[in-house]
Amino acid sequence: MPGKKLQRYYRNKLSDFSQWEHCKDASKGLIFPENLGPYLSIDETSLSQGELYTIITNKSAKGKKGALVAILEGTNSETIIPLLSQLPAKERNKVIEVTLDLAGNMNLIVRKCFPKATIVIDRFHVQQLATEALQEIRIKHRWEALDQENDAIEKAKMYKQIFIPEVLPNGDTLKQLLARSRYLLYKSEQNWTQQQADRAAILFERFPDIKLAYELTQSLSRIYTSTTEKIYAYTRLAKWHEKVEKAGFKAFNTISKTIMNHYRKILNYFDNRSTNASAESFNAKIKAFRQQYRGVSDVNFFLFRLSKLYA
């Protein structure tokens, strides 16, 4: 039997989708009040054709049945807040903590719908900003290296010479060094292979600004991994801001200001060391589920399947 025919038969005959009360309007959003818990995560994900949905999950369910609290169309706080406000205020006030990313709309949704909850900004989103700033510096140098090589090739042609690029001690050319250094900059130096360590030594010698940016990124990461008390984290973040100012990197200054604007919610991480990893894991499950069906042709049926598995 053709796969699509079997899928239609399952949807229309084998499953109870046609008797489901939300079979025609599930795409507008679903809420499962019975799955509310004291510790929640909120995030956004794409179901089909780039259309975003806001997803709230219960951490205690650990990504299994009962994990899905709500999946609502869009990310606009003005439309999502009224829907979540339909939940009994008594139940919403039992929420102790909600983790989220740096998105302002998610922050507003939590403040309005779960007023008693502590808001925790996910550490990995903050660290990701620093990593992106570091990669931005590497990419800038890579484009410069490409321009220099192109100019050198044209000059060699002009004088009817053969262009021979500089080969570094590890066998890389300069543009290869910058391209192949991408992944080692994501890792702590303790986790480098010997080949990566050799490449990093050459990279940092040739580009001291990349070395400085890498050290800033790693020092921010160490604040999260090695600090246990919120007050010490506050002090260490203040010292990190000073290092950023001295470095003079525009992108890192932007990150520094972002941290300062959200420092209370960022420091709340050190109370319970809560992250948004459960939400990211749930999003990964949705993406895997979506790939299994080669996309989402019927959003209502897709949400029916999700609710059966996770709600």
> Are residues 204 and 154 part of one domain?
yes
> Are residues 266 and 131 part of one domain?
yes
In this prediction, residue 6 carries a pLDDT of: 58
In this prediction, residue 286 carries a pLDDT of: 82
pLDDT at residue 285 above 80?
yes
Mean pLDDT for 143-155 is 93
What is the CATH number for 77?
Answer: 3.30.420
In a domain, 106, yes or no: yes
User: What is the share, in percent, of the chain residues with pLDDT greater than 90?
Assistant: 67
> Are residues 88 and 137 part of one domain?
no
Q: What is the mean pLDDT of the chain?
A: 89
> Are residues 218 and 163 part of one domain?
yes
In a domain, 3, yes or no: no
In a domain, 239, yes or no: yes
Domain interval for residue 298: 16-122+275-310
Q: 138-147, 172-181, 289-298: which range is least confident on average?
A: 289-298
In this prediction, residue 280 carries a pLDDT of: 85
pLDDT, tens only, 25-71: 878 889 999 999 999 999 998 877 778 899 999 999 888 889 999 99
Query: How would DSSP label each residue in the chain?
Result: --HHHHHHHIIIIISSGGG-TTTTTGGGEEE-GGG--SEEEEEEEEEETTEEEEEEEEGGGTTSTT-EEEEEEB--HHHHHHHHTTS-HHHHTT--EEEE-S-HHHHHHHHHH-TTSEEEE-HHHHHHHHHHHHHHHHHHHHHHHHHHHHHHHHHHHHTT--------TTS--HHHHHHHTTTGGGS-GGG--HHHHHHHHHHHHH-HHHHHHHHHHHHHHHHHHH--SHHHHHHHHHHHHHHHHHHT-HHHHHHHHHHHHTHHHHHTHHHH---SHHHHHHHHHHHHHHHHTTS-S-HHHHHHHHHHHH-
In this prediction, residue 208 carries a pLDDT of: 97
* pTM attached to this predicted model: 0.88
In a domain, 291, yes or no: yes
pLDDT at residue 294 above 70?
no
Question: What is the pLDDT confidence band of residue 2, given thresholds at 50, 70 and 90?
Answer: low
In this prediction, residue 308 carries a pLDDT of: 83
> Are residues 180 and 103 part of one domain?
no
> Are residues 298 and 166 part of one domain?
no
> Are residues 190 and 65 part of one domain?
no
In this prediction, residue 115 carries a pLDDT of: 94
In a domain, 194, yes or no: yes
Q: 17-21, 37-41, 59-63, 97-101: which range is least confident on average?
A: 17-21
> Are residues 251 and 135 part of one domain?
yes
In a domain, 2, yes or no: no
> Are residues 242 and 304 part of one domain?
no
> Are residues 171 and 212 part of one domain?
yes
In a domain, 287, yes or no: yes
> Are residues 72 and 37 part of one domain?
yes
Mean pLDDT for 172-188 is 95
In the chain, the number of structural domains is 2
pLDDT at residue 3 above 60?
no
> Are residues 137 and 90 part of one domain?
no
